[in-house]
Structure 1
Amino acid sequence: MKVSDFNFNLPEHLIAQSPLKDRTKSRLMIVDSEVNDIVHSTFEQIVNCFKPGDCLVLNDTRVLPARLYGIKEDTGAKIEVLLLKEEGNDRWKTLVKPAKRIKTGTVITFGNDQLKGTCVNEGNQGEREIEFSYSGTFYEILDQLGEMPLPPYIREQLHDRERYQTVFSKNIGSVAAPTAGLHFTEELMKKIEEKGVHIAYITLHVGLGTFRPVSAETIEEHKMHDEYYQLSKGTANLLNQVRQEGGRIIGVGTTSTRTIESVAQKHPDGFVESSGWTDIFIYPGYEFKGIDGLVTNFHLPQSTLIMLVSAMAGKELILKAYDEAVRSEYRFFSFGDAMLILEGSSQQQ
């Protein structure tokens, strides 16, 4: 299957540059994969699409202020470092710009020498392993010096860091937000629970793959980067209960979906407490084992994310929905509008 099969024309002005004042006021496109129907709504109305006994699965990861700006100690050259993955012993896998200036042994200083990083290993495509030295607590220093690692297509400054966090974010470790969750407020979640819908939490720390385009010509050639996930005993028990009682499990975001599917693949007889690394790649032809529906944003052309949503609803229906989203001027990507894919969802309106 060709990567180019998942291309579509996206005018640049539809890329959302800032979040809405009210998280729930984004538009919502409801895609009913059972009858190939598309309905336009607003996110605050999503509660009408759920039934008592359904379960929403939210990713409670919290985004690191992972972008650091430093100075190359020997030349004074400006260096940008994006933290990607903690390797232990104060070592991090990072993306560095300009990477050609950073060789093994190079020292980078940040702030007023509050933080120093030494390159200890060189990788491909700008990857560098950096060992940090500092006095105090690393995450407190990072909170002072770091910036939110907004995607490159967002050019406007984010004045409130919390708008790139979900209201339920808890476990720090991501370099990008699970953006489908950005639409929820505590008030909306309360309304959903009052309807009898369960809410469960998993953790998947969003990593390097978010920043990597698909460079292969065919889907089968692409290799996903691994990301760390955790599914607690309580969540496992709740998901099993929902299954037994005939409820639907609805992933909020591709990260929650990838976590649930990773666990369901390993444990087909029922969910169990799990943690580890997943590089699961979901694209058309995949048979979902854990998820019945998906809340998601509108994704980049030819991305692994549009491939995942196409696996759930079908490529033709998704590309039709995306064409309609462009014509209707939906807002795209991280701060954009949302889509709900759920069989029978349009009849709930």
Structure 2
Amino acid sequence: MPESSTQPFDALLVLSFGGPEGEDEVLPFLENVTRGRGIPRDRLREVGEHYYNFGGISPINRLNREIIDHVRTELSDRGMNLPVYFGNRNWHPLAEDTAAQMSRNGVRRALVFATSAWAGYSACLQYHEDIQRVRQHLEREGLELIDFTKLRQFYDHPLFIETMAQHVRDSYESLPVGSRDHAKLVFTAHSVPTAADAAAGGPEDPHLYSRQVAEASRLVAEAAGVKDWDLAWQSRSGNPATPWLEPDIVDHVTELHLEQAVDTVVCCPIGFISDHMEVIWDLDTELQEAADELGVRLERVATAGHRPEFARMVVDLIEELLAGEEPARLGGLTLSGCTSNGRPCAPGCCQVSRPNSRTA
């Protein structure tokens, strides 16, 4: 990074969840994810079977590297000299190690793009906690600190909505002509405990996570020209007695078939930017198996992350912040403290303890 750079930021950190890239990494990764929760090792082995079905490899790191390559190309095309780094919360490359390298490279002010479009503890506040933990790591190591600025949530960004809408249209076009008119569009996102959703947005703006997911679903359906759609949830984990957002996607597809005779479902994983484990296992494996048993045709919509339009959106977010422009947004939800560039979450926002145990 040249010392003479006049940009107010020195680098971009793509901050994500992380995932194992070999069978010997699965259990250590899951122990990192669930650290401090007292989950028995036998239960972790059960969850690990999802990964062992794919050789112990979660696709998330590979997919994030693909996004980063596209972002680098887009930055270069716009003449922006902004190095891009990659760090994870739960597995290598760990954010602490990446930040240490950034500091040694002379980075002092960095933007952060978190690979989540949403509000909520796991989707937003926990990334702020990651940033604070990284700063503490730099301090302990005696390294120069970095001022991190997290980019805003992008659930309603025009490029995200239009990319997903095009993927929905593509899925409908792949169906036999006679099936398109009666196919049911069902959006899905990661379920969270209802208490965590109630806390998302804080006391002044509660249930912000589920409202953002519903709003993004509405915008995509409208842009795709689909009037009849539902929203379901997936990938719940933890104590079965804890209330989570419902309906579950498998239960919902089953109910659609048994009670409404739906025989074709277009499933859009609106809550996920890439085809990582919660897509390829929970949808492409478990949901597909359930649909096959029911005799339901399942068409799974592609995610947005691999598209060059997604990289354009990331760089648009950067330029928006640099220029101090109003956010490019669709829909009717108001911007709260947890959706604005560089601002901390609103007081009390998402303040619940460990609301889910994602295992992407």
TM bucket by the smaller chain?
under 0.3
Q: RCO higher in 1 or 2 (8 Å CA, sep ≥ 6)?
A: 1
Comparing both structures, which one devotes a greater share of its residues to strand? 1
TM-score for both structures, normalised by structure 1: 0.24
Could you state the TM-score of these two structures normalised by the residue count of structure 2? 0.24
